[in-house]
Chain A
Amino acid sequence: MRLIMNRAFIIFSTLAAIVGLLFLGWILFTLFSKGLQGLSFDVFRKDLIEGGLRNVIVGQIMMSGIATFIGIPIGILAGIYLQEYGGNSRSTEFLRDLSDVMMSAPSIVVGTFVYAIVVVPTGHTSGWAGVLALFILMVPIIVRTTDDMLKLVPIELREAGIAIGASKYHVTMNIVVRYAKAGILTGILLAFARVVGETAPLIYTSGSSEFWSTDLTGTFPSLTVSIYNLATMPDDKMVQLGWTGAFLLTTMVLIINLLGRYASNKKRSK
């Protein structure tokens, strides 16, 4: 009986894995075959209005990049506070729980929120509104990964730092954070990968534009929103461009994720 259970369990879990991988492979295959068809240099050279994706790719990376740039110091400092200075007080636990809730907040809710507080008062969509939405989405991720990574630093290391006459500040910055560096970097990469592929928080906030723009105060080109728009257009050429965009986006996210994995594996092998 035990042997049968054992075998059945192996068969079921293998089947489940195959089903999961099958869909993943199917998605990737569809993306590659449809996306690659439309891939040409023009995609990177021309803006959306001329049938390329240059402006929306740049726009997407700019918005995610700025959100990450602002989010990194705030998220890391908040994570350091939670783990190193917050102790076990109730407010620390509350902040930690709050970050967890924020991490799983539906992104469309964040988009609607920013729409209400920025887009409605200013009267138009803008790059900054998009940046704000992405920022709100990613900070909790950075906070919690920093918090978790610092938790893994052995307590003895902190004591040893104190024991050679380092202040709490020096121990935290020079020893604890440095020890957890690879993990924190992974967290940042994963947070970036998460927001770079977001559509929902951008639809109402940055909108998207067919023209080249680096002016974040106005409606801003977005790759994900453009994919959404292109996919629903009646023109086959436009739909094809949407597939190409989806393919490029997936490739980008995949590479960032792999980089994140690589960084965390490198840390573990030490």
Chain B
Amino acid sequence: MKNMMEVKDLTFTYSGASEPSLKSISLPVEKNKVTALIGPSGCGKSTLLRGMNRIHDLYPGHRYEGAINLLNPDEKGYTNILDIKKEAELIRLRQRVGMIFQKPTPFPMTIFENIAYGLRLSGVKKRADLQEVVERSLRDAALWEEAKDRLDHDARGLSGGQQQRLCIARAIALKPEVILFDEPTSALDPISTLAIEEMISVLREQYSICIVTHNMQQAARISDYTGFMYLGEMIEYDQTDTIFMKPSQKQTEDYISGRFG
């Protein structure tokens, strides 16, 4: 199976920090698989995820070393996304690598416009085209039945779980190749969490997914591969079953069995 993304020897230092937050991290994100990142708070898992679409670049002064390779659309060869300098190319990168955040982030617009916004920015103008993608995205995000009669209502009127599904619909409307989830269910109730988890296992058929979670059961339920991080290092990466059943590192075993973290 091909790797959609490959993080190679990535060292990342925040602006003004003397110590790097990520130390020589390597991680593959396989195509059409779910890769989970687990580890205690402050281990760098979110920092790693936020490097994979270069959202760190919003705040100047940080430093990347190493490489994050993204499979080219023609599947021949890779491009190191850390080499991207121009803003136009960064925008293109973020359309290819979508992101869902911890807190739902509906834009202050109608439900329809929330999803159409990214499409409009990427140049889709025709109303019919927009309508088609909005409907398909909402269906894929399991929100169509609940939202179809109020597409012209403000998106902030939706419940938290619905808002998070809207954010997923918004991301998949752009047909990204990779979707990054940054603790997407930690602000949601158990039923909404279940809905999102089910959706992730369906989305896997079309997208490559990397998810940060502090809920180990969630990683075990939905991921194919798991990386365990601790203090800015990748301690162990393997198939999820192996990580949870017979990890090779003592630290991983201690964390999984709840001895720390």
Contact = CB atoms under 8 A, between A and B. Distances in A.
A270 B102 CA distance: 21
Contact of A164 (B102, B109, B154, B174): B174
A164 B118 contact: yes
A167 interface: yes
A166 B114 CA distance: 12
A261 interface: no
Interface stretch (B90-98, B192-200, B214-222, B250-258): B90-98
Interface string A80-115: 000000000000000000000000000000000000
A178 B105 contact: no
Given A159-B58, A165-B95, A154 B105 contact: yes
A69 to B, nearest CB: 25
A160 B122 CA distance: 16
B108 interface: yes
B101 A175 contact: no
Contacts of B122: 165
A179 B108 contact: yes
Contact of A165 (B121, B156, B167): B121
A49 to B, nearest CB: 51
Interface in A111-127: none
Contacts of B189: none
Contacts of B19: none
B121 A170 contact: yes
B101 A156 contact: yes
B87 interface: yes
Contact of B107 (A157, A167, A181, A270): A157
B99 A161 contact: no
Contact of A270 (B53, B91, B101, B156): B156
Nearest to A169: B87
Nearest to B180: A163
Given A154-B105, A160-B105, A165 B99 contact: no
Nearest to A153: B108
A164 to B, nearest CB: 4
Contacts of B95: 164-165
Contacts of A30: none
Given A159-B55, A159-B58, A175-B108, A167 B98 contact: no
Interface residues of B, number: 27
Contacts of B45: none
Given A158-B58, A174-B117, A164 B170 contact: yes
A152 interface: no
Contacts of A19: none
Contacts of B167: 160
A25 B220 CA distance: 67
A162 B118 contact: no
A159 B109 CA distance: 16
A170 to B, nearest CB: 6
A161 B105 CA distance: 9
Decide if the interface of chain A is mainly helix, strand, loop or mixed.
Answer: helix
A166 B107 CA distance: 12
B171 interface: yes
Interface string B38-61: 000000000000000101001000
Contacts of B87: 167
A51 to B, nearest CB: 51
A160 B101 contact: yes
Contact of A166 (B103, B121, B171): B121
A165 B174 contact: yes
Contacts of A165: 91-92, 94-95, 118, 121-122, 174
Nearest to A176: B108
Nearest to A166: B121
Interface in B87-144: 87, 91-92, 94-95, 98-99, 101-103, 105, 107-109, 117-118, 121-122
Contacts of B99: 159-160, 163
A167 to B, nearest CB: 6
Contacts of A174: 107, 109, 117
A164 B171 contact: yes
B106 to A, nearest CB: 9
Interface of B: 53, 55, 58, 87, 91-92, 94-95, 98-99, 101-103, 105, 107-109, 117-118, 121-122, 154, 156, 167, 170-171, 174
26 contacts: A156-B105, A159-B99, A159-B101, A160-B99, A160-B105, A161-B107, A162-B58, A162-B94, A163-B94, A163-B101, A164-B94, A164-B95, A164-B118, A164-B170, A164-B171, A164-B174, A165-B91, A165-B95, A165-B121, A165-B122, A165-B174, A166-B121, A167-B91, A174-B109, A178-B109, A179-B108
Return the 7 tightest CB-CB contacts between A and B, nearest first. Answer: A160-B105, A164-B118, A163-B99, A165-B95, A179-B108, A165-B94, A165-B91
Given A164-B98, A164-B121, 11 more contacts: A159-B58, A160-B101, A162-B55, A163-B53, A165-B91, A166-B91, A166-B121, A174-B109, A179-B108, A270-B154, A270-B156
